[in-house]
Amino acid sequence: MDFKEHIVKKLAELTGLEQSAIEKAVETPPDEKLGDLAFPCFPLAKVLRKAPPLIAQELAAQLSSDELIDHIDAVGGYLNFFYNRAAFITDTVNAARDAGDNWGRSDMGAGKTILVEYSSPNIAKPFHIGHLFSTAVGNSLARIYKFLGYNVQSLNHLGDWGTQFGKLISAYKRWGDPALIEKNPIKELLKIYVKFHEEAEKHPELEDEAREYFKKLEDGDDETTALWKYFKDQSLVEFKRVYDMLGVEFDSYNGEAFYSDKMDEVVQILRDKGLLVESDGAQVVDLSDMNMPPCIILKSDGATIYATRDIAAALYRHRTYNFDKNIYVVGLPQSLHFRQIFETMKRAGWEWSKDCVHVGFGLVKLPGKAMSTRHGDVVFLEDVLNESIEKTREIIINNGSAVNDIDDVSKKIGIGAILYTFLKNSREKDIVFSWDTMLDFDGESAPYCMYGYARGRSILRKAAGIDFSNADLSKSVSDDAYMLVKQLNDFGDAVKDAAAKNEPFYINRYVTNLVKMFNKFYNTNPIMRSDVDEETKKARLAIVDATCTVIKSALALLGIEVVESM
């Protein structure tokens, strides 16, 4: 039973207003003392030619409580509804327990496709912390949209094309050592790439050689293509190790190179539409009327660039997936790039360009030497993940917790702590990485939320053998029980809000609050204590059970796995 809907219907009958109008008007009062749902009477004042407080009073007198509504108060211009707690708790907990993993799910996305492009590191370059931010946000959004019934495709737009590969090939042919590369692909490839730049300062002719190699690569020459593929395969081995640790999967790894043969068409379309103009020998789309620098399509040497490949990729995605939304989870420094390509696509007459969305995020600050790294001055992500796991292991050992599988538990908490940190605030905010905050088991952190779950599961283990499937939930209607169950009820809304704004932090905040309420609940509502009578115990166990399921589902939407004990 939907309590809100019930009240909306009642109000519609009484006032003669459209249900949809009432549904928009009702709000959650800022303070729970003011009830569960409020109806502001101000908009009625004009029609009824009466002051809102009077309208509220008259309506309150005409409305009566029923099996779902405990009482109704008129306060100022508001009509405040108080639900029947026992009915609300019974209804919500039973529904949540019946639904299990499906609680909060929706089919609003049925038949619709959403593409989420994220991570997108550059091959032969370190997978850096910005790519991790993208990975955390994108993976969470993909999970959120799936939960809402969308067909989701996770895309990794690898940076695997561009003139730098000419340089890398030249470097490899001079100094490449396959044995070293296979041991430590990205570190070695980076080393010879850096060396190329140093040498090219002294011997500029190296640059010409590199250009020639890239030209060969673009022309499909066998040797250079094989080398490029080798760099890509080696890099992917390393990237996939990180993705495995994070529990992240992609449906496609089509990187920039995949579009290298799909760009002529784009250039032709833009030319036919009369959008290309010459500027310093380059072919560009002039966007000055939008106060943007031109979108460069072809460089003066005729080579295509990043933007061209992105436009070709968008067209390909439209044709391949016929998407409802095409999301790019990429750092805010690339905002202008996306505004330029979206505008260019719009001018090309692609009406679906309006469904392309740049979901940006802020910068990550690594204070001091907090991030140690074995690889010199670049922070390697795998090191950061391993460091988090190690630190977690130390904390668990110091806490003296008895966990069965410390490797598994440290890994889930250590990785969870990092993911949580990226999804803790609105994504456009910068992040300061701090181990202390991240691994604070009492603060707002993944370990804190995971501990709430483990605590609940431990209570349920102790209660093994007690059948609470038909618990009489009217036995557990304390304030803290009520607050907790109301939060359980709000899960679906939190998921929808997160999707509407592409902000996983709505779920992060939701689950953190849920755990806070749960802690309060089991502190003030003892469960397995000997003085708790059997019926009350059962009712409380049912609430614990429903809460555990929701914590687990919510954390899963952030990419965080729970542990049974910690």
Binding site for ligand ARG (CB under 6 A): 117, 120-122, 157, 159, 310, 328, 330
**Least distance (Å) from ligand ARG to the CB of residue 232?**
13
The amino acid present at 352, given as its one-letter code, is W
**Least distance (Å) from ligand ARG to the CB of residue 122?**
5
Between 120 and 445, CB nearer to ligand ARG: 120
Q: Cα–Cα–Cα angle for 345, 119, 197, nearest 5°? A: 90
**Least distance (Å) from ligand ARG to the CB of residue 358?**
9
Between 311 and 562, CB nearer to ligand ARG: 311
353 in Cβ contact with 314 (< 8 Å): yes
**Least distance (Å) from ligand ARG to the CB of residue 160?**
9
Among 369, 417, 426, CA closest to 396 = 417
Between 157 and 411, CB nearer to ligand ARG: 157
Among 540, 137, 265, CA closest to 548 = 540
**Least distance (Å) from ligand ARG to the CB of residue 362?**
15
Among 381, 413, 425, CA closest to 562 = 413
Q: Which two tokens stand for residue 307?
A: 């933007």
Residue with the shortest CB distance to ligand ARG:
159
- Tokens 């939304």 locate to 325
67 in Cβ contact with 84 (< 8 Å): yes
125 in Cβ contact with 415 (< 8 Å): no
Query: How many residues are there in the chain?
Result: 566
**Least distance (Å) from ligand ARG to the CB of residue 155?**
9
**Least distance (Å) from ligand ARG to the CB of residue 140?**
17
Between 258 and 506, CB nearer to ligand ARG: 258
Among 344, 332, 289, CA closest to 130 = 332
Q: Which two tokens stand for residue 32?
A: 């729970």
End-to-end Cα spacing for the chain:
37
Between 283 and 308, CB nearer to ligand ARG: 308
Between 329 and 539, CB nearer to ligand ARG: 329
Between 77 and 121, CB nearer to ligand ARG: 121
**Least distance (Å) from ligand ARG to the CB of residue 448?**
32
**Least distance (Å) from ligand ARG to the CB of residue 215?**
22
Between 379 and 449, CB nearer to ligand ARG: 379
Q: Which two tokens stand for residue 407?
A: 């490797």
Between 378 and 483, CB nearer to ligand ARG: 378
Rounded Cα distance, 299 and 133, in Å: 31
Among 431, 300, 259, 452, CA closest to 361 = 431
**Least distance (Å) from ligand ARG to the CB of residue 391?**
28
- Tokens 């420094």 locate to 333
Between 83 and 328, CB nearer to ligand ARG: 328
Q: Cα–Cα–Cα angle for 151, 156, 159, nearest 5°? A: 155
295-298: strand order across its sheet:
276-279, 282-285, 295-298
Q: Which two tokens stand for residue 463?
A: 């209660």
**Least distance (Å) from ligand ARG to the CB of residue 129?**
12
Rounded Cα distance, 313 and 315, in Å: 5
Between 77 and 159, CB nearer to ligand ARG: 159
Backbone angles phi, psi at 51, to 5 degrees: -75, 140
What is the β-pairing status of strands 364-365 and 431-432? parallel
Report the DSSP beta bridge partners of residue 81.
37, 72
